[in-house]
Structure formats: structure tokens, C-alpha cells
Structure 1
Amino acid sequence: MNGPTYQVLVTGANRGLGLEFVSQYASAGCQVIACCRDPLKATKLSALVASSAGKISMHALDVSDFSQIERLASELQGQAIDVLINNAGIYPRGSFGSIDYAEWHKAFLINSMAPMKIVECFVDHVAASRLRK
């Protein structure tokens, strides 16, 4: 992304696709707000933050805890977010005949309800940005 510096927020940023989004956007010159459940255990993300020359900031965010989502949105109040990536997710274990319904409930919360809560809480941040994605 050449030109102006964009602000990107990524949930589930500590591994997999989330970590790659953080890496790619920071490499492209964007400011990245990297969110993960437990920053103390996010060793690869911590290494990226340390080598990013201030382009990446890490924030604790368990998306299943809606009060944490609200708190982060409040902490970032007035800060435009050009790209919001709802990447956090889980896949429940179990198969037909042995489904763990508590795990499926948690998956529905994290994979469906939490992204909606994040969008609700960060809509003004995205609306205030240039890209609005």
C-alpha cells in the first residue's frame, strides 16, 4: 500500500493468518493494532512487534469477552481504523454422535457473535477512516 499510512486492526493476530496479516500490513508501511488473547504467550507476534520500529502495537483481547471489546474500542476512541480484520476464530472438536455442544456454543460466540460485536464497537473508528474496510 503506497501513499498514506493506513491503520489496520487484526483480531486473532498471534498465529496463522492473523500473524501473516500483521506481518504483511506492517511490511507495507501500515500501522497495525494486533489483538490476541494472551500477549505473554504470543511469542511470534511479540518478535514482530519488537522488530517493527513502532508500526505494530499489541493489545490483549479475548473476543469472547464483550467487555474487553468495548474497553479496547473506548481506549482507541478517536483513532481511525482503515481496515478491520475479524480474524479470531476457533473450530470445535467432535463429530456427529459425539458433539460437544458447549464447544459449539463457544465457537458460535467467537466466530459469529464476537465479529458482530467488534463491528458494532468499532463502526465509528472505521467510518472516520479513509478506506473504511
Structure 2
Amino acid sequence: MDEMFLKRLQADFPEFKFISGKKFAFRPPKTIVLGPAEPFYALLTLHEVSHAILKHETFRMDVERLRMESEAWEKARELALRYDIEINEGLIQDELDTYRDWLHVKSRCKKCGLTCYQTPDGVYHCPRCENLT
């Protein structure tokens, strides 16, 4: 972990509280949890700061969660340039894949395996099984 990077980040974003934790996370509305030291520490930190900047607090539909993750990584790319942090596209895509995979599994019909759609009330519906007469 680069202490100078963290001090600069805290100075640039005094409205956010930075705490140590077991994994990187954003706890709305203003807490950034910093995970353990690792090779992509700075980039993962910028990702969580991006969630805070973008005010990502809640989502109603699961696809919104994937959208928020994508937006946060896009913002992290911008911040990485500002802080001279190397952008690792492999890491970003791997992180996004965890949400893509989660959404794919969650949206599959347990009965027939077809991809379901989610309505605003959060319920998944199978176009095949629910349309059988």
C-alpha cells in the first residue's frame, strides 16, 4: 500500500471516511473500506471511491447492480489517470465477470433453464414456463 497515494486521496476527498477492512467495499453514504495490501490495491481503492463519488447507494433490479459496477470502473479509469495509477483491464474485466456470472446464474429459470426477465418488483419471470397454457 502506498501511503502517499492514500494521503492524497484523503486530502482530495475529505467528505469520505476511509477505514481498513477484510475486503474492498463502499458503505453508503460516505465510507470507503480499504482491503488488505495487494498488487491492485490502488485501483481497487479508486473503484470504491468511484462508487462513493457516483452516489451508488442502492439498486432495485439486479441489472442495475451490473450497471453501477460498470460505471464505477469507468470512473476509476478516469481517477487512475489523475493519480498516475496503472489501469489493468484484465482485473477490471475479471471483476465485472463476477457480476455478469452472478446475474446469468440468478436469471436462469430453475425449471427449464431459459433466461428469465426481472420486473421492477424484483421478481424473475420465465417467458416459457409462465406462458404455458
TM over 0.5: no
- Asked which structure has the greater CA Rg, the reply is 2
Name which structure has the greater RCO, CA cutoff 8 Å, separation 6+: 1
Q: TM-score, normalised by structure 2?
A: 0.28
